[in-house]
Homo-oligomer: A and B are copies of this chain.
């Protein structure tokens, strides 16, 4: 079997002088607590603190980065025990894990391997690499670990030194898990995030049901424009009461609009009356971003925009397996014209924070850095999704810093469902940021004391301020 060892200098530049600088910067931030202001872990884990069952259920089934790669190379999803619309296939989880292990070489050069190897070595304590030969050893050993109290969700949360963890819930979620966390007396700071897409995107297949629950949870007449807005205000307050400091919006485009109240009422009547067309649906999503921004001016919630994904691109897979199965593909995106209607309303607000994310890296230098380097309300979210990787994060810094500076960015988001990988992801981000700063120092573009200050900011200061972590505490 091959050894598994995480090199202490991994992700640092090869040049010895630059590496020394990176190492020194990293030493100052490596052990800072984790602030995770945006992600998709399941609050039920922390509410119930139940043990996870096995390696396949914990590490393979929920990780679409992993099974999309396997699928791209012809591996059958059923053989990997990936859930379909009708349930989890009757596949032996150990056989699924073996299949994954035999194909682990596919992940060479990808962030998935970096994250998984970190999980294997640091969290789970392995010292041999995963492959077909070690598959059973892994499966058994992980099973043993998960059976111990030390690997319950709350224990790991504490071991990972997580200071703040935000999950994401829909506007029509009852927040029972978050309420249970609060009521349990556990001191871990797990908060929710307001994600109202389900009651804004009329093209989503579950819109009608979401609106019903939205009405039931708020007691508002959500079929009138005024009542619908009031329901959002109520739910935003509910979310804040459970620690939320932010909202999140994942539309296919970045379109915003600024309609009159009369126009809004007319449009909304078509939306709820079922007489809308695709242009209405898009205009409604656009208008709602502006409405959400105005509510953020009122209530201080930070607004996150995650646009530009073509969801469920694979029609056959969507039919059989549903959403979030690795078939979401980025689209070209326009921010400059799309955001203007919203920015005309709130762009100059100094107390508002709108954090922009992109899957279209072309927009870094051309649109996002120039916009964030001017508008007081705008900040740049970190490299996102497919770009949340060493090369992707390096490009992000190289392409945004010169125009937007470091201070219009907001630190790192892990954005993950894979709880065990959270320390790995933050560690990669810290290393890549220190490597970038080290290059600037080595090229005499930044003084060493400036870089030391920035390493702290990129790891801790910016995220805490942007997401109002301490203000809300």
Contact = CB atoms under 8 A, between A and B. Distances in A.
A445 B390 contact: yes
Interface stretch (A39-47, A160-168, A335-343): A335-343
A133 interface: no
Interface in A402-428: 402-408
Interface in A30-64: none
A380 to B, nearest CB: 11
A213 interface: no
A407 B73 contact: yes
Interface residues of A, number: 92
5 contacts: A108-B406, A109-B401, A310-B337, A315-B340, A330-B365
Contacts of A310: 336-337
Number of copies: 3
A468 interface: no
A190 to B, nearest CB: 30
Interface stretch (A150-158, A218-226, A279-287, A355-363): A355-363
A439 B14 CA distance: 8
Interface of A: 2, 7, 9-18, 68-69, 71-74, 105-111, 114, 310, 313-317, 326-332, 334, 336-337, 340, 343-344, 347-348, 350, 359-362, 365-367, 369-376, 378, 386-387, 389-392, 398-399, 401-408, 439-440, 442-447, 449-450, 453-454
A412 B173 CA distance: 51
Contacts of A16: 17
A449 B4 CA distance: 12
Contacts of A315: 340, 344
A11 B347 CA distance: 35
A13 B114 CA distance: 23
A143 B106 CA distance: 49
B405 A386 contact: no
B11 A444 contact: yes
B405 A106 contact: yes
Contacts of A401: 109-110, 391
A374 B68 contact: yes
A336 B326 contact: no
Given A366-B359, A402-B392, A72 B108 contact: no
Contacts of A331: 336-337, 366
A399 B366 CA distance: 16
A80 to B, nearest CB: 13
Given A108-B454, A386-B365, A374 B344 contact: no
A19 to B, nearest CB: 9
Contacts of A327: 374
Most buried by B among A373, A389, A408: A373
The listed residue with most B CB atoms (<10 A of its CB), out of A72, A337, A362, A439, is A72
A110 B362 contact: no
B372 A361 contact: no
Contacts of A407: 73, 105-106
